[in-house]
Structure 1
Amino acid sequence: MSLINERLDFSTIADLFLLHGSMQSPAFLDGRLCAALALQDLSAEAWLEQVSLALGVEQPRDAQAAERFLAWRRQALDALSAAELGFEPLLPDELFSLAERAQGLKEWTLGFLEVVQDAGEAPRQAWSLPLREALDDLEGIAGIETDIDDSPENENDLFALTEHARMAAMLLYTEQHPGKPQVERTDDETRH
């Protein structure tokens, strides 16, 4: 299977982190990646530098690792800019406990918000009210309790919070890149 067509998931990237001697979760870095792609048009070179810095290495260990890190960036950018709005944060999946998945969401949100806050207050003034409210709500998600039991109620709550983070990321991207994706207007926006 070609690396270009391979969907990189949380476990694949976590394994790549392990190869570089890092036990950290890729969720935090994915949150940073998504916000940076929206706000700074993060280049491939800058992304490789950020990943290397986060992993405490000078550079990826080999060309294949570098290509995987770049494929991760491409995958996030393609999903954020796609018209079908299929973006998904890189988070632990059903193979992980609900507590691990909640921790992943919390880390992703913290990484995302870190980049948004680094952008400063000036750009925030130009953002729409729905985007500012979505980002304010992410502050609450960043403080969620992650020591939760596996239960249908907790599963539903975590799904809703994840969906909120997903939508906030897409909203930030679409406001910073008008026309990419070409999002259909809601009923409220089309009424005069």
Structure 2
Amino acid sequence: MLVLFNKPYGVLSQFSRDPLGTATTLRDFIPLRGVYAAGRLDKDSEGLLILTDDGRLQHRLSHPRHKSWKTYWVQIEGQPSEDQLERLRRGVILNDGPTRPARVRSLPEPDLWPRDPPIRFRRHIPTAWIEIAIHEGRNRQVRRMTAAVGLPTLRLVRVAIGDWRLEGLKPGEYRVVLPTRSKH
């Protein structure tokens, strides 16, 4: 079984209850038994999370060795210069080493659902959207990459993993699909 889930902001990418009982988890949205997340999204990130009951598929999707491309739409603080975008494309140096090259392009503001809570608005600081595709999975990698080039991330939405896309799913919704051989 393969499940595509649009993880809302503030939800933990796990089924187990938060020890304090204060956080929302996958258990609050997905009543299916025996499926596990193939990879993670931070609590403050949104978008596509794939769940499966197939351990081999889960490993293939989440392990960097298999190079599954993950595509994100990122709202950043400031207007990116071509130099900043090119630095992201080449890879940047983070405190845990250099990142691999990424696919990066400017993006018109996408038609997304409102985020709850909303992104902070600053009248004198512009924001922009970029699309970043990576095939690594370091902790908070996209946020750290944009910060490294002077473009802090305000909102992060994963829209694709390989050929699987978020399209048609509202926050908190999931869809069971037939597993296919996705190009990664």
Please say whether Structure 1 and Structure 2 have the same fold, judged by a TM-score greater than 0.5: no
Higher strand share: 2
Of Structure 1 and Structure 2, the greater helix share is in 1
Query: What TM-score, normalized to structure 1?
Result: 0.27
Q: TM-score, normalization: structure 2?
A: 0.28
